[in-house]
Structure 1
Amino acid sequence: MNQQFKVHLALFSVALIYGANYSIAKTVMPEYVKPFGLIVIRVVSAAVFFGFLSRFVIKEKIVGKADNFRSVLCGLFGVAINQLFFFGGLNLTSPIHASLIMVITPVIVLLLSAVLLKAPIRWLSTLGIFIAGTGAMLLIYGGGKQDQNSSLLGDIYILLNAASYGVYLVLVAPLMQRYKAITVVSRIFLVGAVLVIPFGYEQVLAPDWQSLPVQVWLSIIFMVVGVTILAYLLNAWALRYATPTLLGAYIYLQPVLAIFIAVAAGKDVFTLEKGLYALLIFIGVFLVSRK
């Protein structure tokens, strides 16, 4: 197995894991575990795992007031706010709506970079922002009216989740340049765990865990081990060899896989209207991401 194939396999596996997460999470919440309870389980598990790696394997610490404060902000936007809005939104809306709205993240990153970092915006990117934003708004306000599985509030939560993750990506970049990825992520998840526990600890205690079906247990394990830990490790390894263009291509693949899985599992229905709105989002993000 050559190196190029391994990189593609890793990136495809990450896209498949993220794509499946939209439908798998819906099998657990809200019937068996409420969304904030799932967040606590996922974030605390990740904090323990990456904290162990950071302390006993990497053995590196974040130093200085500025970097420590930045890491707290990353935990706030990249884990706490991000996850609360994502699972809260996914609980209310459909897997297809959530996966398509999340694609707009690069557009938000560009806008935030322009505001926070004074980065210039090319005219082609401006056009992409307008097209992607139009597609997202049509999906939220137009598609939701005819879709019983989605709600306006849930779509807005997903959009706020994407915005929060965009803030995180801008904030975390300097830390990733100065420290190893595991060091940064372990701190971020530690901060995130402290912040999300007050929101979801009661929901963790509420279910009758002994009576949960095997399928639900497997879904929870998938979200903890697959989505939180394995996907991150595969992505971190692939980033050492993949080009930005290749990463962009696999970002587009995530909602496509999410749609196939949601439809196959009977969790959602894909319509021509959603397809047209998705096309606008894809075109807009492509123009924004294209160099």
Structure 2
Amino acid sequence: MNKQVQVHAALFLVALIYGSNYSIAKEVMPDYVGPFGLIIIRVVSAAIFFGLLSRLVVKERIIGWADNMRSIACGVTGIAINQLCFFGGLNLTAPINAALLMVISPVTVLIFSALLLKERVGSRKISGIVLACLGALLLISSSHSAGVTGNWLGDVLIILNATSFGMYLVLVKPLMAKYNAITVVSRIFLVGAFIVVPFGFNQALSPDYSSFPASIWAAILFMIIGVTIVTYLLNTWALKYANPSLVGIYIYLQPVLAILIAVWFGKDVFTIPKALYALMIFGGVYLVSRNKQLTNKTTEEAPAA
């Protein structure tokens, strides 16, 4: 098979897996496993997998006080806060809302790059920030005005998730430039696992796992193996051959697939107002991301779901 076809197939599969996650996770929580219990299952499993991979294959360690402290900060923002807010928010809000609000991650990356790395932000990018944030606020307000409190709270948690992930992408960039990507991911998952366990310990122990139907076990395995492990490995391989603009196209495809899947399985309804807010968010992110050169090592980690 042609290498370019393989690259497109890998990136499309990653987008499809991430897009499916919004609806599949709703099948499991909260009826079978609480959102924080699901986080423990996913993060601890990933920590074990990437820890073994790092030990057996890469055999590299993060050294120095500054790099170790930065890796802890990455574990807090990229795994702990990110996952707690994402699954907590997805548990409350609709899949389409979550998928659309996650798209603003590049906006938060730009904001934190300007604050922490002193990157210059021009008028076009400022316009993009305003447009994307306005679209997100209108989407949240539509949930609130509809009288669905859970949706509104869930939307806010998804925004916090995207914000935390944006900070993580800025913090992790120097580590990705210095160490093997698997070494960094192994460390941040380990840090994240230690933090999330106290939050979801009771939720992880309370379910009667023996009573779970095969479909729920399949959904849990999908989130562990597919969403966490397979997507990372496929992204890592594809980014060796794909340019950042191609990767960006497939990142934009994720919420589109999430919407189609959610509507197809009857998990959500895509209304005209949501379509308008989506256009505002996509337009704002486009203005922010246009001509922005993302390095492969940063893009490897996006998005987090």
- TM category (shorter chain) comes to over 0.9
Q: Which residue in 1 is equivalent to 2:75?
A: 75
* Preserved CA contact (<8 Å) 2:62 2:183: yes
Question: Following superposition of structure 1 onto structure 2, how do residues 189-200 of structure 1 map, counting pairs within 5 Å?
Answer: 189-200=189-200
Shift of 1:146: 3.1
Deviations 1:71-109 (A, max 9, x none): 000000000000000000000000000000000000010
- Corresponding position of 2:204: 204
Match of 1:156 in 2: 156
| Equivalent residue letter for 1:44 | V
Q: Which amino acid in the other structure matches residue 239 of structure 2? A: L
Q: CA deviation at 1:239?
A: 1.4
Distance 1:144 1:3, change over 3 A: farther
Deviation at 1:145, TM superposition (A): 2.9
Query: C-alpha separation between the residues in 2 aligned to 1:79 and 1:8?
Result: 27
User: 1:276 corresponds to which residue?
Assistant: 276
Instruction: Please report how far the alpha carbon of residue 33 of structure 1 lies from its aligned counterpart in structure 2 after TM superposition.
Output: 0.2
CA distance in 2, matches of 1:248, 1:149: 33
Per-residue CA deviation, residues 153-189 of structure 1 (Å, 9 max, x unaligned), is 1000000000000010000000000000100000000
State the Cα RMSD in Å.
1.1
Query: CA contact under 8 A between 1:143 and 1:273: conserved in structure 2?
Result: no
CA distance in 1 between partners of 2:238 and 2:282 (Å): 23
Q: CA deviation at 1:122?
A: 1.5
Equivalent pair of 1:97/1:150 in contact (CA under 8 Å):
no
Cα deviation 1:174-217 (Å, max 9, x = unaligned):
00000001000000000000010011111111000000111110
- Structure 1 runs not aligned, ≥5 long: none
Is the counterpart of residue 85 in structure 1 residue 85 in structure 2? yes
TM-score (norm 1): 0.98
Deviation at 1:143, TM superposition (A): 4.2
Query: Residue 21 of structure 1 corresponds to which residue in structure 2?
Result: 21
CA distance in 2, matches of 1:198, 1:146: 34
Give the direction of change, closer, same or farther, for the CA distance of 1:4–1:147 in structure 2 (3 Å limit).
Answer: farther
Deviation, structure 1 residue 144: 4.5
Q: Residue 54 of structure 2 contacts residue 186 of structure 2 at CA under 8 Å; is this kept in 1?
A: yes
**2:143 and 2:149 in contact (8 A); partners too:** no
Q: Does 1:173 align with 2:173?
A: yes
Task: State the match for 2:297 in structure 1.
Answer: none
How many residue pairs align between the two structures? 291
What corresponds to 1:232 in structure 2? Answer: 232
Q: TM-score, normalised by structure 2?
A: 0.94
Distance 1:66 1:274 in 2: 44
Q: Report the identity percentage.
A: 64
AA in 1 matched with 2:208: D
Determine the C-alpha separation between the residues in 2 that align with 1:254 and 1:69.
32
8 Å contact from structure 1 (residues 21, 227) kept in 2: yes
Q: Tell me which amino acid in the other structure corresponds to 2:64.
A: G
SS of structure 2 residue aligned to 1:168: helix
**1:260 maps to what in 2?**
260
Structure 2 distance, partners of 1:2, 1:263, is 34
Q: Aligned-pair distance for 1:241?
A: 1.5
CA deviation digits over 1:104-147, x for unaligned, max 9? 00001001000000000121111111111110100011244338
Deviation at 1:148, TM superposition (A): 5.0
Looking at structure 1, the residues matched to 146 and 243 of structure 2 have their Cα atoms a distance apart, in angstroms, of: 39
> Does the aligned pair in 2 maintain the 1:75–1:188 contact within 8 Å?
yes
Distance 1:213 1:109 in 2: 40
What is the alpha-carbon distance in structure 2 between the residues aligned to residue 149 and residue 100 of structure 1? Answer: 18
- Distance in structure 2 (CA, Å) of the matches to 1:218 and 1:144: 34
Distance 1:150 1:249, change over 3 A: farther
Aligned residues of 2:143 and 2:152 also touching (Cα < 8 A): no
The answer on whether the counterparts of 1:149 and 1:268 sit within 8 Å (CA) in structure 2 is: no
Structure 2 residue aligned with 1:99: 99
